[in-house]
């Protein structure tokens, strides 16, 4: 099934349940695991990004930043792909991003809400963007991608997800 058909079906299905579907419509695919950024494609020299670039340009398809325990430092390996998203925001002033900050399970729910926001704010600082282009929401430890009690799992949950709410 090609993408146009899928989108149409999703839109039809949404008529009866607006709230539930509006969320699905903007939801990004599951984030890829972190990997070295050496062969990341830089933005093309011949012009600005277009909405299609979000699906076709490697560095723009990367949407997750991972963090160390209790840290909000954006590590160097994420700077390159974040630079692509920063350029996208410059190229397309109407584009909007929502950054969702998450934590691992250690510590209390409320403290982790604060920590998730701190991570979101750190990524927002790297992306820059014009006023209103980037919003930060913290989910703390509420939305884990993994539920085991070990570092391998915790490292997958300490993350900021980039979501385009307007392309």
Partner 1 sequence: MIPPMRKLTHLLAFALAAAAAFVAGPVAAQSLNVDITQGLKSATPIAVVPFAQAEGTPLPTDVADVMRADFNRSGKFRALDKKDIVEMPSKGADIQFATWRLLKQNYITVGRIVDAGGGMLRVEYELWDVNRQQSMLSQAFTAPAGDLRGVAHQIADQIYEKITGVRGAFWTRIAYVTAVGLNRNANYSLIVADSDGYNPQVVARSKESLLSPAWSPDGRKIAYVSFESGNSAVYVQDIGTGSRTLLASHPRGINSAPAWSPDGSKLAVSLSYVGNPEIFVIDVASRQERRITNNVSIDTEPVFTPDGQSIIFTSDRSGKPQLYQTSVGGGDAQRITFSGGFNASASVSYDGKQIAMVQGNGNVYRIAIMDRSLGGQVRYVSPGNVDDSPSFAPNAGMLLYAASQGTRGVLYAVSADGLVRQRLVLSDGDVREPSWGPYRQR
CB 43 within 8 A of CB 58: no
- Could you say which of 108, 125, 128, 130 contacts partner 1 (CB under 8 A)? 108
**Contacting partner 1 within 75-104 (CB under 8 A):** none
**Of 49 and 154, CB closest to partner 1:** 154
By CB under 8 A, is residue 106 in contact with partner 1? Answer: yes
Q: Token digits for 21? A: 């579907």
Instruction: Kindly state the smallest distance separating residue 32's Cβ from partner 1, in Å.
Output: 17
CB 79 within 8 A of CB 126: yes
DSSP characters over 15-33: GG-HHHHHHHHHPPPPPPP
Residues paired with residue 137 on neighbouring β-strands, in sequence order: 100
Torsion of CA 41, 49, 64, 103, to 10 degrees: 150
**Of 32 and 44, CB closest to partner 1:** 32
By CB under 8 A, is residue 117 in contact with partner 1? Answer: yes
**Contacting partner 1 within 39-78 (CB under 8 A):** 70
CA distances from 117 to 138, 141, 154, 158 (A): 5, 11, 17, 12
- Could you say which of 20, 25, 128, 166 contacts partner 1 (CB under 8 A)? 20
Binding marks (x or -) toward partner 1, 131..160, rule CB under 8 A?
A: ----xxxxx--xx---xxx-----------
Binding site for partner 1 (CB under 8 A): 20, 23-24, 27, 70, 105-111, 113-115, 117-118, 135-139, 142-143, 147-149
């Amino acid at each position: 099934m090609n993408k146009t058909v899928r989108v149409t079906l999703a839109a039809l299905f949404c008529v009866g349940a607006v709230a539930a579907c509006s969320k699905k419509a903007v939801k990004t695919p599951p984030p890829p695991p972190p990997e070295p950024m050496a062969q990341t494609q830089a933005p093309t020299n011949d012009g600005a990004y277009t909405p299609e670039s979000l699906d076709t340009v490697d560095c723009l398809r990367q949407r997750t930043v991972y963090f160390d325990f209790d840290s909000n430092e954006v590590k160097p390996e994420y700077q390159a792909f974040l630079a692509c998203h920063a350029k996208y925001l410059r190229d397309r002033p109407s584009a909007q991003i929502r950054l969702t900050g998450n934590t691992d399970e250690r510590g209390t729910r409320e403290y982790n809400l604060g920590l998730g926001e701190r991570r979101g704010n750190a990524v927002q600082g790297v992306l820059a963007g014009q006023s209103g282009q980037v919003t930060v929401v913290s989910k703390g430890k509420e939305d884990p991608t993994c539920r085991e009690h070990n570092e391998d799992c915790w490292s997958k949950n300490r993350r900021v997800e980039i979501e385009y709410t307007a392309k």
